[in-house]
Every structure is written in C-alpha cells, then in structure tokens.
Amino acid sequence: MKKLLLALSIIGIVGLMIWVLLNNKAEVEKKAKVVHNTAVAVVVTDVQSQTLQENLTKVGLIVARNEVAVVSEASGKIIAVHAGVGSYLSAGASIVKLDDELSKANFLSAQTNYEKARKDWERASELHKQELISSSELESARNNLLSAEAAQRSAKRQYQNTSITTPISGIVTDRPVNLGAMINPGTKVATIIDKSSYKVKVNVGSGEAFKLKVGDEAGVVTDIYPGIPLMGRIESISDSSDEARTFPVEVVIPAQKEYPLKSGIYGKVTFRLGTDRPILAIPREAVIGSVKNPQVYVVEKGVAKLRDIVIGAEIDSRFEVVRGLREKERIVVSGQDNLQDEAVVEIIKNI
C-alpha cells in the first residue's frame, strides 16, 4: 500500500512539473508573438532613377593671366616717377625716369661717330670703283662703319633704358622704388598685371585629364560671389604629370565688369567630364554602416529586410547605388535605430 501511494505521489509530482513547463512555454510563446507583432514606425522612400552629371571640382588660386615684374636694365638715380600703385598704364608707358645726362651724351657722341663712319664708307666705295684706293682700304672703311654702328646701337639702348617702361598694358600693383633712389641693373621697379583676363591652375588625375580637352568650358565659383559661376575655358592641359602623378590644367576666365576679380583669391573650378548617364540614387540618411560596407533596410510586405549594397558617386545629399537595389523598391530613411532584420514595420510616411 505504501509503495502504491509513493508511486502515485511521484507520478503526480512529475505531471505537475510537466504542466508547469508547458504552461510557461505557452506564456513565453504568447509574449514572443506579441513582441514580434509589435510594428516599428518608419519613414520610407522609393529608390529613384535620376540623371548623373559627371563633374569634377578642384580648388585653385586665381591670378591675373599676365603678370610682369619690370626690372631696370640700367643703373642710375631716379629723377622722375610717372606711375604709382593702382595706376593704369598702356604698353610702352614710362614708370620711372633715371638721370640720363651721361647716357645721352654718350649716345650723341656715338651717333656722330656713326654718321662720320657711314660717310667715310660711302666715299671709300666711290674711290674703290674708280680704282683710286685698294680693296684693303675699302675693307678698313667697312669695318670702321660696322664698329661705329654697334657702338651707336649700344649707346642708344643705354640712353633708352633710362626711361623704364611697361611691356604690357595693365595696373601697377607694386612699385618698390621711389624718387631719388639709386638703382642697378636687375632692380625691380614695378609689378604690372593685365586685368583683361584671369587664370586658375588646378591638378587633375590621369583619368580626368583624358576626359578633358583644350577649349572645354569650366565653371569657377569664388567666396566673393557665392553661387555665381564665372564661365571660363581650358587653355592648356599638361602632357606631363608632376611628382604626384597629376596633370596641371589652366583655365582662363575673361574679366567681367559685374563681377570683378583680383589676383590671389581662391576659386572652385568645376569640369564636366562626360555625357549624363542614368543612375539609381538614394538619400544619404537611408544608408547604415560604413561607406565601405553600406546597408539599407528594404521594406517588403510590411517587413524590413537588411540588405548589403554597393554605392558609387555622391551627388549632393544622395548616393549612387551601383548594386543591391532595384528602382521603386521601398527603403527606410528614418527609424532604422529601432530596427533589426526581419522586423515588422508600420509605414507612417512615404517621402
């Protein structure tokens, strides 16, 4: 009898344990089902096709297309100053004048000697025709003429160099010498810039260099005139790369009265590299993970599925999708922080 009661007790205890376990399992499954069926609120957008303009933007220093440092070819004392910083000069106009008393006297003396030698040569030529002088005497007269001519040219050049002139038309931006100063050959007298056009030089990679050509248009934007592109054209593309394996490209920008420029400001140069092409694009905020390993949540039948993608170019606030998505697929752009793969979602807005 005791054995029977013990066996029944054991059976009862085991049955109770099994009931408790089954009841707990049902409760857990019920709670899990409730959790699983709780939808996460998200904002979505459709993957769109758009046209990509292949552009390249580089930053470079804008300078006057033609800038000349005028140096003295003579020595002497400055006795007159004809232009200051900010003055506009036409090509050939005088900037400063040196004391020319000695150089002028040397030139007049050389000019007199030249005229005498020329007349001696003409006289010797007539006498030689009449066979009144020898060929050696004629040759001597000719050599005297050549020597006098060379001396006259040298003296004339030295006299002319006492008036230091600008070789180009432009604005004086620097004049480091003043009235009364003594200068020597090689002394910088002024800097002249031609403001009729400007240039900016940037370096591009080999791939971009072969997509550009001389004469192509380029837009230049400066901080001085934000949002206003100044149109220029490519003037030159180097056939040789620099140490960084990039190719220098020079863009010329015609001067505009409405948007005047100055040498020494920076500009963003934008080149158009090729024809427009269609791409798939998604908002930047839809991408989670790193740029090297990007992912997005794709919503299918109310479920968010995590998917790997490959992105390409960045266009403003959007990414080009090279692989991993199809046009019109729906992706999450807000609410990803509360998501996991295969989570049930509730779309509260489609933008």
From residue 97, how far is each of 78, 107, 163 by CA, in Å?
A: 6, 17, 5
Asked if pLDDT for residue 20 goes beyond 60, the answer is no
Tens digits of residue pLDDT in 133-144: 999 999 999 999
Identify the band that residue 34 occupies on the pLDDT scale cut at 50, 70 and 90.
Answer: very low
CATH of the domain at 297: 2.40.420.20
**Is residue 261 domain-shared with residue 285, that is, in the same domain?**
no
Tens digits of residue pLDDT in 227-272: 898 999 999 999 888 887 889 999 999 988 889 998 889 999 998 8
Look at residue 36 in the predicted model and tell me its pLDDT: 47
Asked if pLDDT for residue 154 goes beyond 90, the answer is yes
Q: What is the pTM of this model?
A: 0.56
Rounded Cα distance, 118 and 146, in Å: 9
In a domain, 220, yes or no: yes
Mean local confidence (pLDDT), 291-305: 87
In the listed set 248, 272, 296, which residue is the last one of a domain according to the structure? Answer: 272
Identify the band that residue 165 occupies on the pLDDT scale cut at 50, 70 and 90.
Answer: very high
Asked if pLDDT for residue 35 goes beyond 70, the answer is no
Number of domains in the chain: 3
Q: Look at 107-116, 185-194, 320-329 and tell me which has the smallest mean pLDDT.
A: 320-329
In the listed set 116, 144, 161, which residue is the last one of a domain according to the structure? Answer: 161
Asked if pLDDT for residue 328 goes beyond 90, the answer is no
The percent of residues above 90 in pLDDT, for the chain, comes to: 48
Rounded Cα distance, 162 and 96, in Å: 8
Identify the band that residue 32 occupies on the pLDDT scale cut at 50, 70 and 90.
Answer: very low
Which has more pLDDT, 149 or 15?
149
CB neighbours of residue 7 within 10 Å: 10
Mean local confidence (pLDDT), 52-79: 90
Look at residue 50 in the predicted model and tell me its pLDDT: 79
Tens digits of residue pLDDT in 303-319: 998 988 888 777 767 88
Look at residue 16 in the predicted model and tell me its pLDDT: 57
In a domain, 74, yes or no: no
Domain that holds residue 213: 57-63+195-272
In the listed set 245, 272, 299, which residue is the last one of a domain according to the structure? Answer: 272
**DSSP-derived secondary structure for 148-188:** HHHHHHHHHHHHHTTEEE-SS-EEEEE----TT-EE-TT-E
Identify the band that residue 89 occupies on the pLDDT scale cut at 50, 70 and 90.
Answer: very high
Asked if pLDDT for residue 188 goes beyond 80, the answer is yes
Within 8 A by CB and 6+ apart from 64, the residues are 170, 193, 194, 195, 197, 198, 199, 263
**Is residue 243 domain-shared with residue 206, that is, in the same domain?**
yes
Asked if pLDDT for residue 19 goes beyond 70, the answer is no
CATH of the domain at 126: 1.10.287.470
Look at residue 31 in the predicted model and tell me its pLDDT: 46
CB neighbours of residue 330 within 10 Å: 17
Which has more pLDDT, 35 or 107?
107
CATH of the domain at 263: 2.40.30.170
**Is residue 258 domain-shared with residue 205, that is, in the same domain?**
yes
